């Protein structure tokens, strides 16, 4: 019954990788807290790099600076 | 003054259907909790089926399996 | 399979009222979008009035001013 | 270490404007709460006007009515 | 730089279990998407069982019915 | 009409500081994007340090280590 929201920048995660995240998080909640995987919901939000900031600047700007 | 976020998979909800959700949720909060509809905010997020998982697998995979 | 998050101020909503919200939103999603109620998840967050702002001021301050 | 999520309608915010929001929120949290800007994360979600409701109707409908 | 929000019912998760969730999700994102663990943020929300619904009823009610 | 959610650890933010955050974010959105302050909603979530992780470990653990 848990709900997990994973937010990342949109930089090419494949369907297979997203499936791995869904599977991995669901298993983790079963292992650690004995949560029923059948009702564990996982959502993934992919945001443009202009729409994500850390350290006061956007990821777009950081990428240009070589981060 | 409530804020409601509705998350669904992106599978063809029309503008009219989304308007019905907004209206319905706003009325529900007025009926049940006497919340002022004028300041009730409702947002709807539509996610790709690759980005939504339940039971440890993505909706894309479930759809292929006939769910 | 939808996920709905309802956020309100903590001002005495009862367990029965919260149950009505859960039932009402789940039915709305079934009626409007034919979503399966069995996997519709609804969560309710109740926030202190100091932690909710509209119009640039907190609900606590607005309540004191007679809103 | 704070996390801030800003949700607006998708109506033409530029990369520069979004960078200003990221910078401004990060500075605000440093000024008010002495939070370390290096680990302050800001995300911006831009939603279609069909997917945002206030007062029981969508922004799309309100815009048509001249709001 | 990912942000992950885990939402569960408040039913006795210990600090150690929550630390395991934080560690596990952070490692998963590094393994699957090569995300830098240093800037991966994980938050955990624990909700009262009255405030969580599935299948149109609250977890409190389901627990009473023996679920 | 924007909605902003600020998430911080619960470590003593006062009502006045939270009011400053609400005011500051609302003004920022008006200045940068010309958003109407009357319908800008700001919510603040304060989480226990056990429930917040960065770098794969909880803030509680980091605080004990002297961070």
Query: How close A12 gets to chain D, by Cα (Å)?
Result: 18
Alpha carbon distance A24, E23 (integer Å): 13
Using CA coordinates, name the residue in chain B closest to F43.
B3
pLDDT in tens, C19-43: 999 999 999 999 999 999 999 999 9
Per-residue pLDDT at A65: 87
Whole-number average pLDDT of chain E: 96
Mean pLDDT across D31-40: 97
**Cβ pair C41:A41 closer than 8 A:** yes
Bridge-based pairing of strands D3-9 and D41-47 is parallel
Query: How close C11 gets to chain B, by Cα (Å)?
Result: 10
Identity of the residue in C19, C27, C46 whose CB atom sits nearest the CB atom of E58: C19
Using CA coordinates, name the residue in chain F closest to C51.
F44
Chain C contacts of B17, Cβ < 8 Å? 32-33
A42 touches chain E (CB under 8 A): no
CA-wise closest residue to A52 among A10, A6, A4:
A10
Active-site annotation holds for F2: yes
Chain D contacts of F5, Cβ < 8 Å? 4-5, 7
pLDDT in tens, A11-61: 999 999 999 999 999 999 999 999 999 999 999 999 999 999 999 999 999
Beta-carbon neighbour count of residue B49 at 10 Å? 17
Per-residue pLDDT at D66: 82
pLDDT at F34 exceeding the cut of 90: yes
Identity of the residue in E15, E40, E46 whose CB atom sits nearest the CB atom of F60: E15
Identity of the residue in F1, F3, F24 whose CB atom sits nearest the CB atom of D28: F24
The pLDDT > 70 percentage for chain B reads 100
Alpha carbon distance B57, B51 (integer Å): 10
Tokens of E60: 């409190």
Residue E17 dihedral angles phi and psi, to the nearest 5°? -65, -40
**Tokens 């997020």 belong to which residue?**
B45
Mean pLDDT across C6-17: 97
**Cβ pair E22:F58 closer than 8 A:** yes
**Any idea what DSSP says for residue A39?**
G
Per-residue pLDDT at C1: 84
What is the maximal distance between C-alpha atoms in chain F?
44
Which residues, 6+ apart, have CB-to-CB distance to B65 below 8 Å? none
The residues of C annotated with a catalytic role in the active site are: 2
Alpha carbon distance C45, C28 (integer Å): 20
CATH of B3-64, one of 3.30.429.10, 3.40.50.180, 3.40.50.2300, 3.40.50.880: 3.30.429.10
Whole-number average pLDDT of chain C: 96
**Cβ pair E47:C44 closer than 8 A:** yes
Which sequence spans correspond to the domains of chain F?
Answer: 3-64
Angle between helices E15-33 and A15-33 (to 10 degrees): 160
| Touching pair B, E by Cβ (3+ pairs < 8 Å) | no
Angle at A59 between CA A53 and CA A63, to 5 degrees: 155
C18 touches chain E (CB under 8 A): yes
The residues of B annotated with a catalytic role in the active site are: 2
Q: Using an 8 Å Cβ cutoff, are A58 and A49 in contact?
A: yes
CA-wise closest residue to F2 among F22, F27, F29, F31:
F29
Q: F35 in helix, strand or coil?
A: coil
Alpha carbon distance C59, C65 (integer Å): 10
CA-wise closest residue to E45 among C15, E4, E37, E61:
E4
């Amino acid at each position: 019954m848990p709900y997990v929201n994973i937010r990342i920048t949109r930089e090419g995660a494949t369907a297979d990788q997203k499936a791995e995240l869904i599977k991995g998080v669901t298993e983790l909640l079963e292992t650690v807290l004995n949560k029923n995987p059948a009702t564990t919901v996982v959502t993934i939000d992919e945001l443009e790099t202009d729409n994500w900031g850390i350290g006061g600047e956007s990821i777009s700007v950081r990428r240009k600076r070589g981060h």
